[in-house]
Amino acid sequence: MLAELYLLGAVVEDVPMKAHYGKQTSHLSIARAGVAYPARLLWMFVRRIFLRYFLMDFTMASVFLLSGLPMVATGAIYGMHQWWHYSQLGIGAPTGTVVLPAMLIILGVQFLHSAIHEDLRNVPLRPVFTGQAWRSLSEYEYETVDTSLVASCFAGRAKLWRYLSAFNTSSCPSRWHRMSP
């Protein structure tokens, strides 16, 4: 959900709260989370980078990624190959053979560092929604409208976006009212 909110440009605030289980026990398992989450986080990272820097927009971070990743990969592969080759021959590698992969790796890492810098600068700072948009949907009731319009607003992958945008745009129903106590 945080990755989806980042792609929407929403500001997220961490709100501390106590966990109240009552007589129930927690079913969270550190072992299961340690196995499942790294793969999910890696997938969301790759997806976020692709969507943010190649599909939605093409920025300098995109250029840095497109040039830095091949440089690091080429330098590492060529350097390992030459190291293995000259170690099998039992002689020292020529200076140019050592400097070329070193320069590719150093320059590629600098490009990747610049891409990370650009990514960190793109953190959303201005809230997209304010006021009652942060309240839960269950606190609101909806006036009678065409059900196909409501269904289209809450369907598919855009559910979160349309739920939030219902408070500020005319593309989805905007007649949300706070329920009377």
Tens place of pLDDT for every residue, the chain, 181 residues? 777 877 777 787 777 888 777 788 778 888 888 988 898 889 999 998 998 889 888 999 999 999 999 999 999 999 999 999 999 999 989 999 999 999 999 999 999 999 999 988 887 777 666 555 444 444 444 443 344 444 444 444 445 555 555 544 444 444 444 443 4
Q: Is residue 153 part of a domain?
A: yes
Same domain, 54 and 106: yes
Whether the Cβ atoms of residue 167 and residue 132 lie closer than 8 Å to each other: yes
Of 121, 145, 163, the one marking the end of a domain is 121
Domain range spanning residue 86?
2-9+31-121
Rounded CA-CA distance 115/123 in Å is: 13
Same domain, 110 and 136: no
Radius of gyration from C-alpha coordinates of the chain: 25
DSSP string, 34-88: HHHHHHHHHHHHHHHHHIIIIIS---HHHHHHHHHHHHHHHHHHHHHHHHHHHHH
Amino acid found at 79: G
- H or E stretch at 178: strand 176-178
Same domain, 98 and 170: no
Number of domains in the chain: 2
Reading phi first (left if > 0) and then psi (alpha if -120 to 50, else beta), residue 153 is in: alpha
Whether the Cβ atoms of residue 179 and residue 139 lie closer than 8 Å to each other: yes
Same domain, 141 and 80: no
Q: Is residue 22 part of a domain?
A: no
Same domain, 49 and 105: yes
Same domain, 77 and 140: no
Same domain, 141 and 92: no
Rounded CA-CA distance 24/27 in Å is: 9
Of 76, 102, 121, the one marking the end of a domain is 121
- Predicted pLDDT at 128: 62
Q: Is residue 169 part of a domain?
A: yes
Same domain, 158 and 109: no
Whether the Cβ atoms of residue 172 and residue 166 lie closer than 8 Å to each other: yes
Q: Is residue 37 part of a domain?
A: yes
Same domain, 114 and 141: no
Same domain, 101 and 46: yes
Same domain, 51 and 110: yes
